[in-house]
């Protein structure tokens, strides 16, 4: 979907590594690897993560597209190792076997990709679904988003992330501990604000160019996100039009009296902060048994449990923030040019 800042990722949860290829990073930009690693650490932290996060310590290696510290406009290849792979070499082997001696996992876990993924791709072992469906792959999305954030920062476009609630509570650590003891899991709601976004990113002229639509897709792509709101979002239905539309004023520069639209009108940024909130469903891997069907013989059974996070809403917010950065940068490059960073700066100074 992205036109200028395009990327693909590969990698399984317990495979050797995660890889990302970004195309569209302007030439002449100095990528700060430490900043990428800081963002990766933010994704790994947060209250409620499981034991896997004690195994991994995500750091990125830039494998191509940079020379003497500066981007060359060539595709940039990024790699993050999965430390846990050492323990999964046999189970995740890429080599063919005469006989598969690995025990198949055949009872889909409700809420996961297991059931629909098996039906779609016709696998015997649900591990072939869950390894790629796993949220592990979002580490690479964060690395790619972090490069986008660094470029946006050159233009003073920055973001803030806030956790709004977990199980309806603002102060949620205690809730998470209670739920951990119950063998259950939690989701939550978070808010992301993008500041200093220039007027006119996105467009109303076609459905797939609307900035709010593209942002919603980017945030919905984060595993377990089930709702995305812009500005007042779901609250709009409680108000009259005259109460919620943001009145425009001019006092040397344009500004709106309020920002209920969350910085987007007609699918375009309007110069106010872009305000996005989203809801994550509870983690689907839970100790408490959930009913399912064993697909090998269609018998009723209880869903399989592997170690898991209890609540990953803080990680989810970090991933969403980085995905939004990719979208905003993509639109920014559309408006201000994309070949080299000096040219983009000149265009920005003239137009913004
Ligand atoms: C995940 C299950 C857990 C999480 C994982 C996502 O991994 P494991 O099965 O190895 O315990 O820790 O998240 C990550 C590895 C990560 O880096 O965020 C799942 O099923 O989606």
Span from the CA of 147 to the centroid of ligand 1 (angstroms): 23
Give whole-number Cα distances, 16 to 13, 139, 236, in Å: 9, 14, 47
CB 329 within 8 A of CB 197: no
Tell me: the pLDDT tens digits for 55-65? 999 999 999 99
Q: Which string of DSSP letters, residue by residue, matches 118-183? A: HHHHT-SSTHHHHHHHSGGGHHHHHHHHHHHHHHHHTTT-EEEEEEEEBTTBSS-HHHHHHHHHHT
Q: What span, in angstroms and rounded, lies between the C-alpha atoms of 26 and 9?
A: 20
Q: Is the pLDDT of residue 197 over 80?
A: yes
Q: Whose alpha carbon is nearest atom 6 of ligand 1?
A: 135
Number of H helices, E strands in the chain: 10, 16
| Residue nearest ligand 1's atom 19 by CA | 134
Distance 56 CA to ligand 1 centre (A): 10
127 lines ligand 1 (CB under 6 A): no
Backbone angles phi, psi at 150, to 5 degrees: -65, -40
pLDDT cut 90: percent of the chain above it: 93
Which of 46, 49, 50 has the most ligand 1 atoms within 8 A of CB, as the residue to mutate? 50
Instruction: Indicate if ligand 1 lies below 6 Å from the C-beta of 322.
Output: no
Gap between the Cα atoms of 31 and 35, Å rounded: 8
52 phi and psi, to 5 degrees? Answer: -60, -35
Residue minimizing CA distance to atom 5 of ligand 1: 136
Q: What is the pLDDT of residues 136-190, one digit of tens each?
A: 999 999 999 999 999 999 999 999 999 999 999 999 999 899 999 999 999 999 9
Would you state the structure tokens that stand for residue 240, as one six-digit string? 């009259």
What's the CA-to-centroid distance between 49 and ligand 1, angstroms?
Answer: 9
Using a 6 Å cutoff on CB, does residue 308 contact ligand 1? Answer: yes
Confidence at 102, pLDDT banded by 50, 70, 90: confident
Instruction: State whether the beta carbon of 52 lies less than 6 angstroms from ligand 1.
Output: yes
CB of 306 shorter than 6 A to ligand 1: yes
Say if ligand 1 is within 6 A of residue 76 CB: no
**What is the distance between the alpha carbons of residues 190 and 216, in angstroms, rounded to a whole number?**
14
Burial of 79 per CB tally in 10 Å (0-12, 13-18, 19+): middle
Centroid of ligand 1 to alpha carbon of 135 (angstroms): 6
d(CA 201, CA 197): 8
Spell out the domains of the chain, with CATH numbers in brackets. Answer: 6-351 (3.60.150.10)
Predicted confidence (pLDDT) at residue 290 exceeds the cutoff of 90: yes
Q: Work out the number of other CB atoms within 10 angstroms of the CB of residue 298.
A: 8
Query: Taking Cα atoms as reference points, which of 72, 78, 21 lies closest to residue 339?
Result: 72
Higher pLDDT, 288 or 153: 153
Atom 3 of ligand 1, nearest CA residue = 308
Alpha-helical segments (H) within the chain: 33-44, 52-55, 114-121, 127-133, 138-153, 173-182, 211-220, 241-244, 313-336, 341-351
| Residue 282, phi then psi, degrees to nearest 5 | -60, 145
Tens digit of each residue's pLDDT (9 = 90 or more) over 62-77? 999 999 999 999 999 9
Question: Does residue 100 carry a pLDDT above 80?
Answer: no
pLDDT at 289: 84
The pLDDT mean for the chain works out to 96
Distance 59 CA to ligand 1 centre (A): 17
């Amino acid at each position: 979907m992205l036109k200028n800042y395009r990327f693909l990722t590969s990698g399984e949860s317990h495979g050797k590594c995660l890889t990302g290829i970004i195309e569209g990073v302007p030439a002449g930009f100095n990528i700060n690897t430490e900043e990428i690693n800081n963002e990766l650490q933010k994704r790994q932290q947060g209250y409620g993560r499981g034991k896997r996060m004690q195994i991994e310590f995500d750091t990125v290696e830039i494998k191509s597209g940079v020379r003497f510290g500066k981007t060359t406009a060539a595709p940039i290849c990024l790699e993050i190792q999965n430390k846990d792979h050492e323990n999964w070499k046999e189970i995740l082997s890429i080599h063919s076997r005469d006989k598969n001696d690995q025990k198949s996992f055949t009872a889909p876990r409700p809420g996961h990709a297991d059931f629909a993924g098996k039906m779609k791709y016709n696998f015997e072992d649900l591990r072939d679904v869950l390894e790629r469906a796993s949220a592990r792959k979002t580490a690479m999305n964060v690395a790619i988003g972090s490069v986008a954030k660094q470029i946006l920062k050159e233009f003073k476009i920055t973001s803030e992330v806030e956790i709004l609630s977990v199980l309806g509570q603002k102060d949620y650590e205690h809730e998470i501990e209670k739920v951990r003891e119950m063998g259950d899991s939690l989701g939550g709601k978070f808010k992301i604000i993008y500041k200093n976004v220039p007027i006119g990113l996105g467009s109303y002229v076609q459905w797939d160019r609307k900035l709010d639509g593209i942002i919603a897709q980017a945030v919905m792509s984060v595993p377990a996100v089930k709702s995305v709101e812009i500005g007042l979002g779901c609250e709009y239905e409680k108000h009259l039009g005259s109460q919620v539309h943001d009145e425009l004023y001019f006092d040397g520069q344009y500004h709106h009296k309020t920002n209920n639209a969350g910085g987007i009108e007609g699918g375009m940024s309007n110069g106010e902060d872009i305000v996005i909130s989203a809801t994550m469903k509870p983690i689907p891997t839970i100790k408490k048994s959930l009913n399912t069907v064993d697909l090998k013989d269609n018998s009723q059974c209880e869903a399989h449990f592997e170690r898991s996070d209890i609540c990953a809403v803080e990680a989810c917010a970090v991933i969403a923030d980085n995905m939004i950065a990719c979208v905003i940068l993509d639109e920014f490059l559309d408006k201000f040019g994309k070949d080299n960073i000096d040219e983009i700066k000149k265009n920005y100074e003239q137009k913004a």
